Amino acid sequence: MLDQKATGFRELKKFRQCFIYEQQYFIVETFLNIDHQPSVLRIETSKEQSELKIPSFVKILKEVTSNNEYAGSTMARIGWKMPEADKKKIVKVLSMYGQQQTPAPSDLKIKREASYTSATPINA
């Protein structure tokens, strides 16, 4: 099955962080091997969008639920780069918080998924 990999695409390497806030399950996926290491906040839920509560410590810079630019299959294309406008938006927001470096951009995007996955948190 691995021999059937499409040419022109790369395997995406992700760092996945999961947390529960207000009884809602969140997943932050940071793509480690592509331009600017974008992160996507995924919310797996059966709730309506108006019922979702985004934690105040998460800064959403762009809604990408219906944006194919941030679909995994698009980002997996060899040569894909984060749009310059999005990079500039990150820099602007960081400057408001007094940060000078490139972010671990868990603040960049949000993608809502209308599915429900049950999960049991692992106690450290």
Per-residue pLDDT of the chain (124 residues), as tens digits, is 555 667 899 999 999 999 999 888 999 999 999 888 888 999 887 777 777 888 888 888 888 888 899 998 999 999 999 999 988 888 888 788 775 544 444 444 545 443 333 333 343 3
Cβ neighbours around 86 below 10 Å, total: 20
pTM above the 0.75 mark? no
